[in-house]
Structures are given as C-alpha cells and as structure tokens.
Amino acid sequence: MEPMRHLVFILILTATPLSAQSLQDRAAAQIDALGPVTQTLTQSALEEVVLPFETATPFEASLGDGDLSDAIIATRAGDSTASQAFRATVDSATGRPDVAPSNGALGLANLAVSIGADSVVGMFSGNSGSCTSAFDGPIASGTYNCSAPLTQDFRYCHEERQVTVHRTDKWSCAEETPEYRKTCSKNVEWRCTGTTGGACLKEAVQVSRPVSWNASGDRVETTFSGGGTGACSLREKTVQISVQDIAQITSLRLEDITYQGVAQVRINGQNVWTQGTSGGSNLAVRSRDCGKNCAVDAVYAGNTWIADCSATPNARTPGIELEPEFSQATPGPNSSLESTPVRALTGSQSLPLQITLITANTQESGPTLRFALRGSCCSEFTASLGDAC
C-alpha cells in the first residue's frame, strides 16, 4: 500500500492600487469594456450551437415494475456472461480481507504534512514577503496566508492522504491425469526340496546343551553332571529348547526323568510337576522329628512331606506336554517372492523354552531328561508361482 500525497495550491491574487483608482473601480472598468451580449445570445444562435440528439433506448427501458425484479433474478442465477460477471464481482467484494493501513503508510503521509510548510514558504521568500500558518498539528488540511509588497496573496494548501489497496484475483483450471491401480493374485505352490523326517527334526529342534538323538530322530535326551558330598541339599539344572520354522511340531513331551532323591520340574519359572504331590510349592529341605532323640533331613513341598533326604535312584515318567508353550511361526520360507524359484534354507526361530530340574538329595550321579517329539519338517522349500496377471 502506498500513500498518495497531493499538494494543491489555490492562489487568490489581489493587486494593491498603483494609483488613486481602487481595485473595485478597475474591475468595473474591465466589465464595461466587454460590451453588451444581447446580440450574441439570440434564439437562432443558441439553436445553431446546441445540436439536438436522441437518447438511446436500452433493453431495461421496456421493463415494468414486476418485470424488472424478475430480470434481476434471472441475471443473478443465469449462465450468461453478465451473470458470471455479476457473481464474480459479488464473490470478489464479499471475500475481500479486511485491510488496515499500516503505520508505515500513514507515516509517509504525515511526513508530507511536516514538510509542506517549508515548500510553501519558499515560494514567497525575498522581496520582504511573509506568511502566516493556519496548520494545527497532523491534520489533513491547512491554510497559509502569504503577502508581498503591493500584492496580497491567499494561498490554500490542501493535503490528501490516500491509501490504495490493489487486489488481484487469479483463477486457474487444470485437469489431473487419472491413476488406476490393478490388483491381481497368483497361486503359489510350495514344494519340499530338502531333507524331511527325523533328519530335518534334528536340525529344527535347537537345544542349549549337548544332546543325543535316536536313529529315527523322534527321541532326544540330555544328561547333567552329578555332584554332592553327603549333605542333603537342593540342586538345580536348566536347559533351553527352541524350534525353527522349518518344522511344525505337533507334540514335544518331557517323557521321563532319571535322578536321585526327590525331583521337581519348572517350565519358564512355573512349577508344573513335583514328585509325590500335585501341589506347586517349591521344594525345601527341613529337619523331621522321627521319635525320641531322632531327627532326619527331609524334603518338603511347602508344608507337605515328600521323602526323607537320600541318594536313592529314581525314574519317573511325568509326560509333560511342552508344545503349547512354543510360539512357533508357520512352516515355510520367509524370503521374498519377487523372483522364482524361491528357496529358503532356514527360517525364524521360536522363543526359547526354559526347562529347570530341581533335585533334593545327598548325592547324585547325573540326572537325565528325555524328550519325545512328533511333527513334520522340511529343511528347504521351492515355490512355483501361477500364471502372470
């Protein structure tokens, strides 16, 4: 926005008398010298100068009071060029933002006022001229009265501050190119091209300790080291088992256990089997009163007596099913299908399952855990894709 500044000077010149004749007398003498005008302003002269003309008759002149309202509505709602121009004008007017002149624009206009006095006074410098100011603060107009010898001039100074806001509306129309997405499906057929059966299960079942497998690959066992000095104590052994996704395990059971004394089995920290009781309390060694002047070390599960502490060999078949505890992925390759044939030698592995054996005895030669498993397995897959889309 740019302020518009105009300085308009109106000079009223009044000459001082050079002789005894007054200004009014001199003006009257000039008017008398013009002579009469009655011969000039005649009827025939006026008709020759002023030419008659006929006013054009627009379409709206033929409309009556009721028709005019209908014509206005038709123009507003129609598809004609006039209708489009009317709606564009209304949209432009009603959609205009509020505009307030900035302090910078008004400051420029005030500057023009402040230097106006110097501009006017300079025109009357010299010849003993003088001016009087009638400006009062930063107002929009003012008056300077200036005089010089033999002449008195009245000069009026009009100042205007104009702030102009220009609005430009631009419209554009573009046609977007439509995009289409095609979705299709292909049949995928997987074939096992690697080892199967027990040989594959030996590869798929991962045990954290050394193990031994039977020939058919459906039995596996691990043996812990023994120990003890004759005093009754609790002993703890742990093994972890996980399964790769090349196998689909349908059953993995802790089939049987060999140990000395009393035993308890925990799966991921939870007691799932305790010799001689169905309770889930942890094993503990306490003294048991066995009569007058008699006390022996005994093994308890909570407050339940299990057996007196000894190194007696034991073999039990708890038959604990472990398969529900695994979070197995679906068997099959986890490779990309963008190229064929697709091959997957190994896959992801399940979370490890922790099995803990707690024994209570005076000495042990080395307990053993034996597992039995069933399921299908394939160490390598090949995929065939169907026809192209």
- Distance in angstroms (rounded) separating the CA atoms of residues 217 and 202: 6
- If asked whether residues 330 and 368 sit together in one domain, one would say yes
- Distance in angstroms (rounded) separating the CA atoms of residues 301 and 274: 8
In this structure, is residue 157 part of a structural domain?
A: yes
- If asked whether residues 246 and 338 sit together in one domain, one would say yes
- If asked whether residues 144 and 257 sit together in one domain, one would say no
The predicted pLDDT at position 99 comes to: 62
- The H-or-E segment that residue 69 falls in is helix 65-77
Taken in order 307, 224, 219, 200, the sign of the CA dihedral is: positive
In this structure, is residue 178 part of a structural domain?
A: no
- If asked whether residues 278 and 131 sit together in one domain, one would say no
Of 148, 164, 180, which residue is a domain's last?
164
In this structure, is residue 123 part of a structural domain?
A: yes
Cβ neighbours for 324, distance < 8 A, ≥ 6 positions apart = none
Give pLDDT tens digits along the chain (389 positions). Answer: 444 444 333 333 333 444 445 666 776 776 666 666 666 666 666 556 555 556 667 666 777 766 777 777 777 777 888 788 778 777 777 766 666 666 666 666 666 666 666 655 555 555 556 666 665 555 555 666 666 555 555 666 666 767 777 777 777 777 777 776 766 666 667 778 888 888 889 988 999 999 999 988 999 999 999 887 889 999 999 999 998 878 888 899 999 999 999 999 999 999 999 998 876 899 999 999 888 888 999 999 998 999 999 999 999 999 999 998 887 666 555 444 455 454 444 556 777 899 999 999 999 999 999 999 998 888 877 777 666 66
The predicted pLDDT at position 87 comes to: 80
The position carrying tokens 């979370």 is: 351
- Distance in angstroms (rounded) separating the CA atoms of residues 349 and 326: 10
Q: Show the domain range for 96.
A: 2-33+63-164
The predicted pLDDT at position 235 comes to: 94
The position carrying tokens 């000459």 is: 15
- The H-or-E segment that residue 72 falls in is helix 65-77
- If asked whether residues 139 and 204 sit together in one domain, one would say no
- If asked whether residues 155 and 194 sit together in one domain, one would say no
For 110-114, the CB contacts below 8 A with 24+ separation are 110/138, 112/3, 112/5, 112/7, 112/159, 112/161, 113/138, 113/139, 113/142, 113/159, 114/138
Inter-CA distances, 20 with 13, 17, 23, 30, Å: 19, 7, 10, 17
The predicted pLDDT at position 13 comes to: 38
The predicted pLDDT at position 67 comes to: 76
The predicted pLDDT at position 327 comes to: 75
Of 130, 148, 164, which residue is a domain's last?
164
The predicted pLDDT at position 208 comes to: 93
In this structure, is residue 44 part of a structural domain?
A: no
Cβ neighbours for 296, distance < 8 A, ≥ 6 positions apart = 287, 288, 290, 308, 309
- 246, two tokens: 């090349």
- If asked whether residues 204 and 134 sit together in one domain, one would say no
- If asked whether residues 139 and 243 sit together in one domain, one would say no
For residue 139, give the amino acid letter: I
Residues 87-104: b if buried by 16+ CB within 10 A, e if exposed? eeeeeeeeeeeeeeeeee
Inter-CA distances, 335 with 119, 243, 281, 332, 352, Å: 89, 18, 46, 9, 23
In this structure, is residue 317 part of a structural domain?
A: yes
The predicted pLDDT at position 85 comes to: 79
Pairing type for strands 381-385 and 205-207 reads: unpaired
> Residue 50, class by beta-carbon neighbours within 10 Å (0-12 exposed, 13-18 middle, 19+ buried)?
exposed
In this structure, is residue 52 part of a structural domain?
A: no
Quickly list DSSP for 236-282.
EEEEEEEEBTTEEEEEEEEEEEEEESEEEEEETTEEEEETTBS--PP
Of 164, 198, 227, which residue is a domain's last?
164
Q: How many domains does the chain have?
A: 2
User: Are the C-beta atoms of 153 and 124 separated by less than 8 Å?
Assistant: yes
The position carrying tokens 């080892």 is: 195
The predicted pLDDT at position 162 comes to: 74
Q: pTM of the full predicted structure?
A: 0.49
In this structure, is residue 295 part of a structural domain?
A: no
- If asked whether residues 19 and 110 sit together in one domain, one would say yes
- If asked whether residues 158 and 193 sit together in one domain, one would say no
User: Are the C-beta atoms of 235 and 363 separated by less than 8 Å?
Assistant: no
In this structure, is residue 367 part of a structural domain?
A: yes
- If asked whether residues 267 and 372 sit together in one domain, one would say yes
- If asked whether residues 237 and 352 sit together in one domain, one would say yes
